[in-house]
């Protein structure tokens, strides 16, 4: 509880950084025309205006679009992709850390998949899974699973064998070792991986939507870019950024609670 | 001594490793030994002599290349809770609170929560850690972690305790305190008398203070088998008994620190 309260306190330096950025932005609008760079205030107003209903988007074939609705669509996809990708990646990572044969089989496949640029992969997914949710969710899930595969595998490989040996001499079977040794011991590193993956997810999902989707923040950005509506694009980006920061704060809090036994996570957060 | 079957029976056991350079190394070489129930046995030898390998085979963590190990008449195939082990490294799970660590073995056997909690509390009290049952292991000192590890194997009810240089990394005072803790628990013998202990060490005084019997291991073989009949409880004075001094000289000679066994050292 105390930890949660302390987290919620604002970081003065972080606030200072945001203020500085807004000032520079405002200063730049004095030089650049509003069509290239609208000011922070007008972007904020546009964000409020389009939040629940954005009628002008109907001209671009998005009749019922609003910023909040699109954001919820994007957030849902990100969370589903994170869940699916993390589940697959963690399971595969832990398994391959304990089986050299499986590792030799799976490592090259996932490592290759992880290096394919999203711009190359997206068209295939659109052909295979259409322009609905499935395409963007699976695309993002793929990158998440590769990242968490690496994190989980490294965490499990780095675990001192004495813990598993001790568990076995105390009478633990494989299932018990998985639940009470392998999973909890790797949780701090896996949660760290989930946080990094989550941060990347927003961008990937937006790109996936940009390349082919009917809803979502990425789709809004795509149509507004077609109309060179910089103000609208910036409003969508600000909303995406704020939501990403809030989710990251939630993930940080979860990490603190679930990994409170770990010395490293304590040091990482103590100030 | 008795005609009952020995608690631990090691018969013609060998362990061969292949080193990275392809060379075969015989870590344990045709070892046979019988240990009766309730005996406190120290395996003493220089590092790399094969004593830890032998212990790991009794624990079931390592299968012998040749030969057979029986514990309570049963052939050892893999680890089992009746053979508890305390490791040289810290094996207390950092992600569980102290009491959950002590309960772990009981949990594996399906003992109900209130019952295993009561057992864990009893053993935590016996090792002097009743006050820190809700602490995280990272909050404990090295000596306290060893107490938790000892409480864990005793709480699990192992008939045979295997200790692999458990106090090797501790300071002298902590080590002596833990000797007392270990001997108290060993002597307390909850239900069925004393438990059988195999204790690996390279510390001569530690072996003399603890053991009923010392097996000297060298190059994968047992080269000496000494009974230590000194009365218990023992203290630093016990090490000054003539028989103990003679034993100490013999052990030091085995370790290559003195020239010949049982030669009195002349005052300089």
Does any domain span residue A14?
A: no
Q: Across residues B143-160, what is the average pLDDT?
A: 94
Q: How far is A242 from chain B (nearest CA, A)?
A: 33
In tens digits, what is the pLDDT along chain A, a chain of 271 residues?
Answer: 444 445 555 678 888 998 999 999 999 999 999 888 999 999 999 999 989 888 888 778 777 788 999 999 999 999 999 999 999 999 999 999 999 999 999 999 988 988 898 889 988 999 999 888 999 999 999 999 999 999 999 999 999 999 999 999 999 999 999 999 999 999 999 999 999 999 999 999 999 999 888 889 999 999 999 888 999 999 999 999 999 999 999 999 888 888 888 866 554 443 3
The pLDDT assigned to A3 comes to 47
Identify which of B95, B107, B109 has the shortest CB distance to residue A185. Answer: B95
* CB-count exposure of residue B24 (10 Å: 0-12, 13-18, 19+): exposed
Identify which of A165, A171, A260 has the shortest CB distance to residue B80. Answer: A171
CB distance B136–A165 less than 8 Å? Answer: no
* pLDDT of B190 over the 80 cut: no
Q: Which of B52, B60, B83, B108 to mutate to test the interface with A (most CBs of A within 10 A)?
A: B108
Peptide bond into A116 cis (omega under 30): no
User: Is the CB of B96 inside 8 Å of chain A's CB atoms?
Assistant: yes
Collapsing DSSP states into helix, strand and coil, what is residue B30? strand
CATH of domain B1-79+186-268: 3.40.50.300
The pLDDT assigned to B252 comes to 93
Q: Domain range for residue A229?
A: 66-269
Q: Which two tokens stand for residue A58?
A: 């109907």
Q: How confident is the model at residue B133 (pLDDT cuts 50, 70, 90)?
A: very high
* Stretch 111-170 of chain A: residues touching chain B, C-beta under 8 Å: 160, 162-163, 165-170
User: Is the CB of B61 inside 8 Å of chain A's CB atoms?
Assistant: yes
CB distance A262–B94 less than 8 Å? Answer: yes
Q: Across residues B118-138, what is the average pLDDT?
A: 94
Each domain of chain B, given as residue ranges in start order, spans: 1-79+186-268, 83-157
Q: How confident is the model at residue B118 (pLDDT cuts 50, 70, 90)?
A: very high
Chain A residues inside the 8 Å CB shell of B84: 169-170
Identify which of B90, B104, B136 has the shortest CB distance to residue A170. Answer: B104
Contact present, B10 and B67 (Cβ < 8 Å): yes
Does any domain span residue A190?
A: yes
Q: How confident is the model at residue B1 (pLDDT cuts 50, 70, 90)?
A: very low
User: Is the CB of B67 inside 8 Å of chain A's CB atoms?
Assistant: no
CB distance B93–A163 less than 8 Å? Answer: yes
pLDDT, tens digit (0-9, with 9 covering 90-100), for B47-74: 889 999 999 999 999 999 999 999 999 9
Nearest residue on chain A to B109, alpha-carbon basis: A171
Buried b (16+ CB within 10 A) or exposed e, A143-159: bbbbbbbbbbbebbeee
Nearest residue on chain A to B155, alpha-carbon basis: A170
Does any domain span residue A59?
A: no
The sheet with strand B24-35 has its strands ordered as B24-35, B8-18, B66-71, B74-75
Does any domain span residue A17?
A: no
Does any domain span residue A89?
A: yes
Does any domain span residue A46?
A: no
Q: How far is A190 from chain B (nearest CA, A)?
A: 14
User: Is the CB of B201 inside 8 Å of chain A's CB atoms?
Assistant: no
Q: What is the CATH number of the domain that holds A223?
A: 1.10.3720.10
- Give one DSSP letter per residue of A174-239, joined into a string: HHHHIIIIIHHHHHHHHHHHHHHHHHHHHHHHHHHHHHS-SSSHHHHHHHHHHTT-HHHHHHHHHH
Q: What is the ipTM of this complex?
A: 0.90
Nearest residue on chain B to A264, alpha-carbon basis: B138
The pLDDT assigned to B189 comes to 59
* pLDDT of B266 over the 70 cut: no
Nearest residue on chain A to B149, alpha-carbon basis: A166
The pLDDT assigned to B138 comes to 92
Q: How far is B57 from chain A (nearest CA, A)?
A: 12
Q: How confident is the model at residue B144 (pLDDT cuts 50, 70, 90)?
A: very high
Q: How many domains are contained in chain A?
A: 1
Alpha-carbon dihedral sign for residues A179, A182, A188, A193: negative
pLDDT, tens digit (0-9, with 9 covering 90-100), for B227-258: 999 998 898 899 999 999 999 999 999 998 88
CB distance B96–A261 less than 8 Å? Answer: yes
Buried b (16+ CB within 10 A) or exposed e, B203-238: ebbbbbbbbbbbbbbbebebebebebebeeebeeeb
CB distance B91–A185 less than 8 Å? Answer: no
Q: How far is A167 from chain B (nearest CA, A)?
A: 8
Q: Which two tokens stand for residue A177?
A: 């070792």
The pLDDT assigned to A101 comes to 94
Identify which of B84, B94, B137 has the shortest CB distance to residue A169. Answer: B84
- Residue among B51, B6, B12 nearest B207 (CA): B51
Identify which of A166, A172, A180 has the shortest CB distance to residue B87. Answer: A166
Residue partners of B177: CB distance under 8 A and separation at least 6: B143
Chain A residues inside the 8 Å CB shell of B87: 162, 165-166
């Amino acid at each position: 509880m105390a930890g949660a309260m302390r987290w919620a306190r604002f970081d003065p330096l972080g606030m200072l950084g945001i203020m500085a950025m807004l000032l520079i932005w405002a200063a730049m609008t004095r030089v650049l025309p509003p069509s290239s760079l609208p000011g922070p205030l007008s972007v904020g107003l546009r964000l409020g205006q389009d939040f629940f209903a954005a009628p002008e988007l109907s001209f671009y074939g998005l009749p019922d679009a609003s910023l909040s609705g699109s954001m919820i669509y994007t957030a849902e996809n990100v969370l589903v992709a994170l869940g699916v990708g993390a589940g697959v990646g963690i399971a595969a990572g832990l398994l391959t850390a304990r089986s050299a044969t499986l590792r030799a089989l799976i490592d090259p496949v996932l490592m290759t998949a992880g290096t394919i640029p999203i711009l190359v992969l997206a068209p295939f997914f659109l052909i295979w899974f259409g322009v609905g949710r499935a395409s963007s969710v699976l695309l993002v899930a793929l990158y998440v699973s590769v990242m968490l595969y690496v994190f989980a595998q490294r965490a499990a490989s780095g675990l001192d064998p004495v813990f598993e040996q001790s568990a076995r001499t105390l009478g633990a079977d494989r299932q018990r070792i998985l639940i009470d040794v392998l999973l909890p011991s790797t949780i701090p590193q896996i949660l760290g991986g989930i946080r990094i993956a989550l941060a990347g997810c927003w961008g990937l999902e937006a790109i996936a939507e940009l390349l082919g989707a009917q809803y979502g923040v990425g789709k809004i950005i795509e149509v507004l870019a077609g109309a060179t509506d910089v103000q609208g694009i910036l409003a969508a980006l600000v909303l995406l950024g704020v939501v990403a920061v809030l989710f990251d704060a939630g993930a940080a809090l979860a990490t603190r609670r679930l990994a409170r036994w770990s010395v490293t996570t304590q040091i990482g957060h103590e100030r | 001594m008795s005609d009952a079957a020995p608690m631990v029976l090691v018969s013609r056991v060998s362990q061969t490793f292949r080193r990275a350079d392809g060379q075969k190394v015989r870590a344990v070489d045709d070892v046979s030994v019988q240990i009766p129930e309730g005996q406190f046995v120290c395996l003493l030898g220089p590092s790399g002599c094969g004593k830890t390998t032998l212990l790991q085979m009794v624990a079931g963590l390592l299968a012998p290349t040749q030969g057979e190990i029986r514990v309570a008449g049963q052939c050892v195939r893999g680890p089992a809770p009746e053979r508890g082990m305390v490791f040289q490294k810290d094996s207390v799970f950092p992600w569980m609170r102290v009491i959950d660590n002590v309960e772990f073995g009981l949990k594996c056997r399906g003992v109900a929560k209130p019952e295993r909690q009561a057992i864990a509390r009893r053993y935590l009290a016996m090792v002097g850690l009743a006050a820190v049952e809700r602490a995280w292991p990272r909050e404990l000192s090295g000596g306290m972690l060893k107490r938790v590890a000892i409480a864990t194997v005793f709480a699990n009810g192992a008939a045979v305790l295997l200790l692999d240089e458990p106090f090797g990394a501790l300071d002298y005072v902590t080590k002596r305190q833990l000797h007392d803790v270990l001997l108290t628990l060993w002597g307390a013998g909850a239900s069925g008398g004393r438990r059988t202990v195999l204790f690996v060490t390279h510390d001569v005084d530690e072996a003399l203070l603890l053991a009923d019997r010392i097996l000297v291991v060298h190059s994968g073989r047992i080269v000496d088998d000494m009974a230590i009949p000194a009365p218990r409880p023992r203290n630093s004075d016990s090490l000054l008994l003539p028989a103990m001094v003679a034993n100490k000289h013999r052990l030091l000679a085995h370790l290559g620190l003195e020239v010949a066994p049982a030669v009195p050292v002349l005052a300089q």
